[in-house]
Structure 1
Amino acid sequence: MAEVSKPVYTTAYKEHPTERMKAALWTGTKSIELGEVPKPVITAPGDAIVHITHCTICGSDLHMYNGDLNKVMEKGLIMGHEAIGIVEDVGPQVKNLSPGDRVIILPVIACGECFYCKRKEFSLCDKTNPSEELEQMYGHRLSGIFGYSLITGGYPGDQAEYCRVPNADLTCVKAPKDIDAKKLVGLADVTPTAWHGNELAEVGKGDVVGVWGCGAVGLSIQRLAKLRGASKVYAVDKDAHRLDIAKSFGMIPINVKHHPDPASYILSLEPHGLDRGIEASGFRSTNSATHAAMRAMGVEGDSSDTVSAVIKATRKGGNVALIGDFFYTTNNFPIGMLMEKAITLRGGQLYAEKYFPLLLDLVIEGKYDPSFMFTHEDDLENVSQAYHDFFNHKTPGGLKVCLSTAFGRAQARA
């Protein structure tokens, strides 16, 4: 293996001397404020400046909102890693983009040149994240990510009127101008994350699949599993409305309020077990008082309750993928069951750039429509309330909100 590359990317952007923009700023626990900050300008030769038209809030943003990552946050960080817009300016090394191009901004910032990028494992990039704390936690640095704390590089995010996009030829995906904005925003993070979950689990034709979680990512995993040829998909959640959405897409819903041991229930229906199990709900899905107590004492960070259920429900020799939010350590992990059942367990952040143009082509060809996840639309100016509603499960329609900037609204009227 080649020598590990040292991070070389500039994470902060150069500021325009006079022009300012509106942006969603982290100001503390459960506090996201719309503020005015200097507009970014070209900072490195491979940059693009994108005039944002639409963005959204990700479930993983709630870690920062709720205070889970306060130790690695900086007041005033611009939030967001799911957006689309129009290229306004490009640096001298940008070859594939021009001002006026409509683009999807991918969340993962990768160099395209290191050992991992050459393997198309872009979220493992060596060069774009200078966080020494992450290296101490995990033994390695991972890639940079927009708007997601100092441990992912501290890059200003794209819940804003403008975004500086490093290595824009790789980080931006050109998109047709006649496709609905919600379809494209859905391609920024959720759809490639969902595809990645299917890839990790190796979902294929005829597979019986179980997905824990019916949020935007979980539902997308389920739909894409069907698209990849899965014969049956079980959808596990405790939210009746989201389970109804899953059922409307042809999934088999399992409400954990009615079946508190979903693994045993699945095995009563599928004695063979699941061919592929995917965890897409993360540590927040547990209601365990034991976990709450251990977390309060600082002896456990994440709960493995759902992971244990997925492993139990998966057949011998099957595959399990972790795509939900997990950051820290867990107790009571079923290592014996994993080993003795010969299960392959994989996890990891999305290799976003790897899955284009495939995913965009699915949308252009009408084979997949990711806009279903946006059950509400609002203005960026209302981002503070949008975070509050999302965190408290009050987003109209129960899934995600698509936020438009003033520029985006003007574009829609044109």
Structure 2
Amino acid sequence: MKALCWHGKGDIRCDTVPDPRIEDARDVIIKVTSCAICGSDLHLMDGQMPTMESGDVLGHEFMGEVVEVGQGFTKFKKGDRIVVPFNINCGECRQCKLGNWSVCQRSNRNAEMAAAQFGYTTAGLFGYSHLTGGYGGGQAEYVRVPMADVAPMLAPEGVDDESLLFLTDILPTGWQGAEHCEVEGGEIIAVWGAGPVGLFAIQSAKIMGAERIIAIDTVPERLALARTYGATDIIDFMQEDVFERIKEISKGEGADGVIDCVGMEASAGHGVASLVNTIQEKLTSTQRPYALMEAIKAVRPCGIVSVPGVYGGPIPVNMGSIVQKGLTLKSGQTHVKRYLETLTRLIQEGKIDMTSMITHRSTDLADGPELYKTFRDKKDGCVKVVFHPN
């Protein structure tokens, strides 16, 4: 089969690889009908995540048709169309029973490796390094889905792939990012990054009742989408001082909640801070926490800092600001299964715009290496890339 594979920093190829096979009674094999490139895939492309190996199949946003099931498997049957969350869940461990699906204790085949890095294991993830289990990803024609009786969801009849695909990651990620801000109505929420996750965080904050939603980015197409998705205020971080603008918008109070949807590959803003941060990056870290640093500064005292953006290792953070301002920091990979029912209902009710951010489509995975570059470099107005390989 064809699949998009990692072969080193900046080297994504469309390879021919062995078809997946059933390895356990709880497995299903799906024929991928839709998959996407996620912003966190760019962290892999840019060499920011450890433990990648040449030939690893990429991709964690995918759905498709069941073509084979494990012996005695009953949840799905051949021909069913299913949505597959990016985290793999056993359904039996303490964390799964608590609904903390992203930190399942049994699905990561390399749990000891993850524990050595983070203290405890995370869940297994599709297509996202050997630190999270080394599972083959979904930017492929076929995928093995382990523990398929827990997290995957049967696609509702009459709803097309593109209206469901982002349930696998970026929609619940944006929703969880906003939920972490404890929006009850009337708040000021600032969102760093108007990429796909940021756009869903904006929509989510609007649905939850935020009064002012500030979108922070510099790409014109993304800022325009942010406005249509519910942002009341726009800040171009290359043209304005973000902190001063948020103070102005909030009448000196600061944002009630801030959401870092950028993560480890943020770009520094304008002015002296840009130079200082660039020097710091050279000296202390390959990861760039500029968005997080700004968010911590701009949130009001006793406010909430929500971090759905991905970080893969140590970064310099102003802990003094967190302590002295009494901030709450909430983060984590998304507990996708926790939100599937609620978000599917909102999609069916037409309350979430699922498709207008899709700017590039392809039916051929061979286009993948070039589309990865287009997405990374934000060329040709690229916001989101979707493949329909079968």
Task: Give the TM-score taking structure 1 as reference length.
Answer: 0.88
* Deviation by residue 1:283-322 (Cα, 9 ceiling, x = unmatched): 312334444444445x324333322221222122211101
Shift, 1:377, TM fit = 0.9
Output the CA distance in 2 between the equivalents of 1:73 and 1:306.
26
| Other-structure match for 1:366 | 350
- The 1:292/1:136 distance shift into structure 2, 3 A limit, reads farther
Answering whether residue 63 of structure 2 is matched by residue 63 of structure 1, we say no
Q: Report if aligned partners of 1:186, 1:373 keep a CA contact under 8 Å in 2.
A: no
* Deviation by residue 1:92-124 (Cα, 9 ceiling, x = unmatched): 353321111111111001111111111111111
- The 1:37/1:303 distance shift into structure 2, 3 A limit, reads closer
| Other-structure match for 2:260 | 279
Output the CA distance in 2 between the equivalents of 1:105 and 1:167.
11
Unaligned runs of 5+ in 1: 1-20, 408-414
Please say which of residues 304-313 and 320-329 is displaced more in the overlay: 304-313
The residue type paired with residue 150 of structure 2 is: L
Q: Report if aligned partners of 2:215, 2:234 keep a CA contact under 8 Å in 1.
A: yes
Query: Among 156, 162, 173, which residue is 2:142 paired with?
Result: 162
Output the CA distance in 1 between the equivalents of 2:60 and 2:143.
10
Output the CA distance in 2 between the equivalents of 1:317 and 1:80.
37
Output the CA distance in 2 between the equivalents of 1:215 and 1:265.
21
Answering whether residue 324 of structure 2 is matched by residue 313 of structure 1, we say no
The residue type paired with residue 160 of structure 1 is: A
Shift, 1:133, TM fit = 3.0
* Deviation by residue 1:205-254 (Cα, 9 ceiling, x = unmatched): 22211101100000110011101111110001122221121122331111
| Other-structure match for 2:331 | 347
Answering whether residue 371 of structure 2 is matched by residue 389 of structure 1, we say no
The residue type paired with residue 398 of structure 1 is: C
| Other-structure match for 1:107 | 86
Please say which of residues 372-381 and 99-108 is displaced more in the overlay: 372-381
Shift, 1:190, TM fit = 0.7
Shift, 1:132, TM fit = 2.9
Output the CA distance in 1 between the equivalents of 2:52 and 2:290.
28
- The 1:243/1:397 distance shift into structure 2, 3 A limit, reads same
- Aligned to 1:193, the other structure's residue is in SS state helix
Q: Report if aligned partners of 1:23, 1:159 keep a CA contact under 8 Å in 2.
A: yes
Shift, 1:264, TM fit = 2.1
| Other-structure match for 2:174 | 194
Shift, 1:282, TM fit = 1.4
Q: Report if aligned partners of 1:279, 1:310 keep a CA contact under 8 Å in 2.
A: yes
Output the CA distance in 2 between the equivalents of 1:289 and 1:272.
28
Output the CA distance in 2 between the equivalents of 1:117 and 1:48.
20
| Other-structure match for 1:33 | 13
Give the paired residue count: 381
Output the CA distance in 2 between the equivalents of 1:175 and 1:285.
35
Task: Give the TM-score taking structure 2 as reference length.
Answer: 0.93
The residue type paired with residue 204 of structure 2 is: L
- The 1:398/1:117 distance shift into structure 2, 3 A limit, reads same
Output the CA distance in 2 between the equivalents of 1:362 and 1:108.
22
Output the CA distance in 2 between the equivalents of 1:302 and 1:33.
25
| Other-structure match for 1:257 | 238
The residue type paired with residue 317 of structure 1 is: C
- Percentage of matched positions with identical amino acids: 35
| Other-structure match for 1:302 | 287
- Aligned to 2:54, the other structure's residue is in SS state coil
Q: Report if aligned partners of 1:187, 1:370 keep a CA contact under 8 Å in 2.
A: no
The residue type paired with residue 72 of structure 1 is: T
* Deviation by residue 1:346-378 (Cα, 9 ceiling, x = unmatched): 110000111111111111122212112211111
Q: Report if aligned partners of 1:102, 1:177 keep a CA contact under 8 Å in 2.
A: no
- Aligned to 1:368, the other structure's residue is in SS state coil
* Deviation by residue 1:2-32 (Cα, 9 ceiling, x = unmatched): xxxxxxxxxxxxxxxxxxx111111222111
Shift, 1:345, TM fit = 0.7
Shift, 1:66, TM fit = 1.5
Shift, 1:164, TM fit = 0.5
Shift, 1:86, TM fit = 0.7
Q: Report if aligned partners of 1:301, 1:329 keep a CA contact under 8 Å in 2.
A: no
Unaligned runs of 5+ in 2: 269-273
| Other-structure match for 2:320 | 336
Q: How does 1:193-232 map to 2 (within 5 A)?
A: 193-232=173-212
Q: How does 1:78-93 map to 2 (within 5 A)?
A: 78-93=57-72
Shift, 1:203, TM fit = 2.2
Output the CA distance in 2 between the equivalents of 1:27 and 1:311.
36
Output the CA distance in 1 between the equivalents of 2:182 and 2:386.
31
Q: Report if aligned partners of 1:147, 1:158 keep a CA contact under 8 Å in 2.
A: yes
- The 1:273/1:295 distance shift into structure 2, 3 A limit, reads closer
Q: Report if aligned partners of 1:32, 1:384 keep a CA contact under 8 Å in 2.
A: yes
The residue type paired with residue 390 of structure 1 is: F
Answering whether residue 99 of structure 2 is matched by residue 120 of structure 1, we say yes
| Other-structure match for 2:271 | none
Output the CA distance in 1 between the equivalents of 2:98 and 2:234.
37
Q: Report if aligned partners of 2:225, 2:357 keep a CA contact under 8 Å in 1.
A: no
Q: CA RMSD in A?
A: 1.6
